[in-house]
Structure 1
Amino acid sequence: MSPRAGSAGHPTLAFVESPVQLLNVLEWAYAHAVGTTGSGAPGPGAGIPAPRDRRSGAGRAAADGAGRAAADGAGRAAAVDAGAAGPQAGEGLTLVVLSPTDPMTRGQLRRMAELALDEGHEVRWEEARGGALAPFRTIGGLTPLLRRARRVVMGDPFSRYVQLLLTITRARELVVVDDGTATMEFVAQLARGERLVRWHRKGGRRGARDLLFAPVSSAARRRLMPSARRTVEVFSSMPIDETPAGVTVTANGFAWTRSRFGPPRLTKGADLVGTSLVETGVVDGERYLEAVRALAKAHGARRYFAHRRESPEKLRHLAVETGLEVVRPDLPLELIARRGPIGRTILSFPSTVVHTLPLALVGTEVRVAVCDIDPEWLTDHASPRAQGFLSGVTGTARDVDRLPSAVPGQGVAAEQDMTAG
């Protein structure tokens, strides 16, 4: 979809709640040549919070390059506090961060917001979950911008916050950028006319809050269908098989990431990417630990890049039991890997990165390998669709090596031979 000319009265608004969503908005803006015209001055609370909790939020830098970047970006938060806008180059984009409360996610979002400033975009930080009255303040403050917006970009159409905001906007163009593998499920549900529900919750009983919010969710789903008055674009690096009629699908090739960072310096051995499947109740914690231990031993992995939602207790236990160095990245893994240093082999369980890392690392010698989730690892609380969805994530991944389920003591020598060099 070609971008239309913007103006101060018709800005492009982007709503993000995670670092990956913000990264993909930057990719979308780069692909569509969307810059800034200073559209809409920042309102109250527009500044990125001062980095007083940087250590608790971002943790240690994932690599030497990440550490240098953290130092470079330390002074830029003040520019957002002052409402500074970037160079005048093309159509305006205002990034609205609906900040979560999780410290690590907040730290990564702050770093991504600093990168957005470097690109000349405007950033508005909303403490959207800072108390019982926060949602009312947030929505009240955003309503005037939503009424004027010509285009709305969102990273999570499953979010109740985003669904509520969709019922307010009059935007003629709606864009959904990747929120990981959930995008695959969103597009499929939209094509089938189903209610919007995350894959790991599907099949469970609807709670009182779900029933209360159902009219808003249904209205948002209708708003996300193209019409004579509204266009809808999905900007994605995920494989999409079912496309709703009239929806434009644009491929995300991570061109912005590759143009800004790397190529990375490669290290010997392998790095392992963590997952939050234990935290979401899909995979048993002890089975996951056994699988990580076996996978690390088989491939000579040295570092474990933690998912931002993994619990500190689980990570401490994992470090003791496996001997892996647990790294808490301060940026999405696509940027960490592109900047380096990074292992010549990256090991992952079924997750977004098996689709995104091969794109971000194209032209390098890094190999991405994915290990299937054994059905016996699933908990009794896992959604009936969990195994099929996870298998689909692995099966549709391109340019990756596929590994069998990591079972202690099996296939170690063969797998070491396969990843040698």
Structure 2
Amino acid sequence: MSPRAGTPGPASPGSPPPPPTSTLAFVESPVQLLNVLEWAHAHGLAAGGRPGAGTGGDTVGVTGADAGGDTEGVTGADADRGSVGVTGADAGGGTGRTAGGVLAGSPAGRGVAGRAPEGAGAGARDRLTLVVLSPTDPMTRGQLRRMAELARDEGYEVRWEEARGGATAPFQTIGGLTGALRRADRVVMGDPFSRYVQLLLTITRARDLVVVDDGTATMEFVAQLARGERLVRWHRKGGRPGPRDLLFAPVSAAARRRLVPDSGRGGRRVEVFSSMPIEESPDGVTVTANHFVWTRARFGPPRLTGGADLVGTSLVETGVVDGDRYLAAVRALAAAHGATRYFAHRRESADKLHRLAVETGLEVVRPELPLELIARRGPIGRTVVSFPSTVVHTLPLALAGTDVRVAVCDIDPSWLTATASPRAEGFLSGVTGTARDVQRVAGAVLPD
């Protein structure tokens, strides 16, 4: 039997060691990058680059939302813009501290430069390069830069691509990555719904494909793959495809076929690395559980406050939940649980957060790292209340062994907009219903 691709085979006495496996990981969000680090730790991949070494001389981990000036008025790093009750990790803008008190790249963050994860065996010869396909959203960029700094402190190579920096940027990015894609033995991706990733999948010859969590969307991806459906994000399902969807349909279909395992000679293996409940998976797909072992090893345990914290969601921004009803629900939850802080989702709009801070009195915090890391480091409330989202699945894992109680508030059907996908109510209910180790709390009954 030939050795599994990506794992060095046995060497005969005196023979040179087998060449290292080349792994390319494509990420577009901070959570995706975190889950690639968790995947690498779980599979015993050694760090592939020298500490702090990157490609192209990119500056990563600079204070502020983004070294390139990508800041929003709602962050505390720019306090002179008149934000009300809205703070970032560093209102002074000069210490480099992230929310929760972690200095990216410092001993406090427990990043061990150049050290392979515990238990690294044959896979320690694997070489992992993280490719950040940078979005344009300022807060996402800021969190990505801090996560990239942590990855570099772990010794991994990080390649920052301004993939959306103008009309010609996609062509330059894809052209620059084509050679590495064709040489890669394994490709790891965080968002199989991404058109960028789908296009890259049509180029690669890698026989090992890995999908790491991009939040609750992973549940829908696996279900669609199992049913042989086209890949459509859950909040858009049921809608009529637009012109761009129709134009891109052949590429999307080709990418979906690439994500189906092939058991033939020299076939293709597909792994899903997830902390989500996977109820149906395609034949031949390996599902590996993400227990956030790296996060718990590198951060915390957290210092707990006596109160409660609320976790925000971008359901208003995606057109699923009505903005006024969402604000009323937040106000009711804060009063019911004695919450004082609101951890904003990175895609929540500055206008909405400003209004929320004024009308609820909550301190709105823009985390500079994914909430799993912020909560693990602390300080964090003894109760964390969230709407249906990824964190109701991930926080109990990241906070295992602590006294933090995670609670989830259902989305009342009356909060949904008239344009919300027909799939929305069932999907959100499933996110809540399948969450483990969380407490269900009743949402406010809002007047019409």
Q: Is the CA contact 1:62–1:327 (under 8 Å) kept in the aligned structure 2?
A: no
2:7 to 4, 21, 26: 4
**What residue identity is the alignment partner of 1:222?**
R
Asked whether the 8 Å contact 1:35–1:92 carries over to 2, the reply is yes
Q: Larger % of helix: which?
A: 1
The 3-state SS of whatever aligns with 2:236 is coil
What's the offset of the Cα at 1:55?
A: 7.8
Give the percent of matched residue pairs that are identical in Structure 1 and Structure 2: 76
Q: Is the 8 A contact 2:21 2:125 kept in 1?
A: no
- Is the 2:6–2:185 contact (alpha carbons within 8 Å) kept by the matching residues of 1? no
C-alpha separation between the residues in 2 aligned to 1:188 and 1:169?
Answer: 24
Contact 2:100 2:378 in 1 (8 A): no
Which residue pairs with 2:186 in the alignment? Answer: 151
- Say if 1:346 and 1:123 are closer, same or farther in 2 by CA, change over 3 A: same
Give the Å deviation of 1:162: 0.1
Provide the rounded CA distance (Å) in 2 between the counterparts of 1:290 and 1:202: 27
Aligned twin of 2:418: 380
Deviation, 1:194, is 0.1
1:205 aligned counterpart, secondary structure: coil
Cα 1:66–1:42 shift into 2, 3 Å: closer
What CA distance in whole angstroms lies between the structure 2 residues aligned with 1:35 and 1:9? 11
AA aligned to 1:98 is L
1:109 — aligned with what?
144
Conserved in 1, the CA contact under 8 Å of 2:301 and 2:377? yes
- State the SS of the aligned residue for 1:180: coil
Correspondence list, 1:384-399, <5 A: 384-399=422-437
Corresponding letter in the other structure for 2:303: R
The structural deviation recorded for 1:47 is 5.3
Letter in 1 for 2:47: T
1:332 maps onto 2:370 in alignment: yes
TM-score, structure 2 normalization: 0.84
**Post-superposition CA distance 1:214-256 (Å, at most 9, x none):** 0000000000000021100000000001110000000000000
Cα distance change, pair 87–238 in 1 and its aligned pair in 2 (3 A): closer
Q: Which amino acid aligns with 1:311?
A: S
Residue of structure 1 equivalent to 2:37: 26
Q: CA deviation at 1:37?
A: 3.6
Opposite residue 244 of structure 2, the aligned amino acid is R
Unaligned runs of 5+ in 2: 10-17, 78-87, 92-96, 107-112, 117-123
Q: 2:77 matched to 1:66?
A: no
Q: How many residues align?
A: 399
**Range moving further from structure 2, 1-10 or 15-24:** 1-10
The one of 59, 71, 88 equivalent to 1:56 is 71
Cα 1:8–1:348 change in 2 (3 A) is same
Residue 211 of structure 1 is aligned with which of 226, 246, 266? 246
Secondary structure in structure 1 of the residue aligned to 2:235: coil
Asked if 1:265 corresponds to 2:303, the answer is yes
Q: Do 1:306 and 1:327's aligned partners in 2 also have CA atoms closer than 8 Å?
A: yes
Q: 1:280 to 1:47 in 2, by over 3 A?
A: same
* Equivalent-residue separation in structure 1 for 2:5 and 2:399 (angstroms): 27
Is the contact between residue 54 and residue 107 of structure 1 (CA under 8 Å) also seen in structure 2? no
CA distance in 1, matches of 2:206, 2:61: 29
Deviation at 1:170, TM superposition (A): 0.3
**In the alignment, which residue of structure 2 is the partner of 1:418?**
none
Equivalent in the alignment of 1:407:
445
Partner letter of residue 382 of structure 1?
A
Tell me the distance in 1 between the aligned counterparts of 2:68 and 2:379. Answer: 26
Query: Given the alignment, which residue of 229, 241, 256 partners 1:221?
Result: 256
Residue 66 of structure 1 deviates from its aligned partner by 3.4
Shift of 1:91: 1.6
Alpha-carbon contact 2:135-2:141 (below 8 Å) kept: yes
Residue aligning to 1:301: 339
2:171 corresponds to which of 136, 146, 167: 136
2:278 aligns with 240
Q: 1:13 aligns with which of 18, 24, 35?
A: 24
Q: Secondary structure at the match of 2:188?
A: strand
Distance 1:15 1:22 in 2: 8
Runs of 4 or more off by more than 6 Å in structure 1?
Answer: 6-9, 62-65
Shift of 1:48: 3.8
Q: CA RMSD in A?
A: 2.5
Summarize deviations over 1:333-367 as a string: whole Å, max 9, x none.
Answer: 00000000000000000000000000000000000
**TM-score normalised by structure 1 residue count:** 0.89
- Equivalent position of 2:15 in the other structure: none
Secondary structure at the counterpart of residue 393 of structure 1: helix
Deviation at 1:36, TM superposition (A): 2.9
- Look up the equivalent residue of 1:403 and give its one-letter code: V
Letter in 2 for 1:34: L
1:236–1:252 Cα contact (<8 Å) kept = yes
Supply the distance in 1 between the matched residues of 2:327 and 2:445 (Cα, whole angstroms): 11
Residue 198, structure 1, aligned to residue 233, structure 2: yes
SS in 2 for 1:234: strand
Q: CA deviation at 1:50?
A: 5.7
For residues 190 and 71 of structure 1, what CA distance do their matches in structure 2 show? Answer: 37
Q: How does 1:89-100 map to 2 (within 5 A)?
A: 90-100=125-135
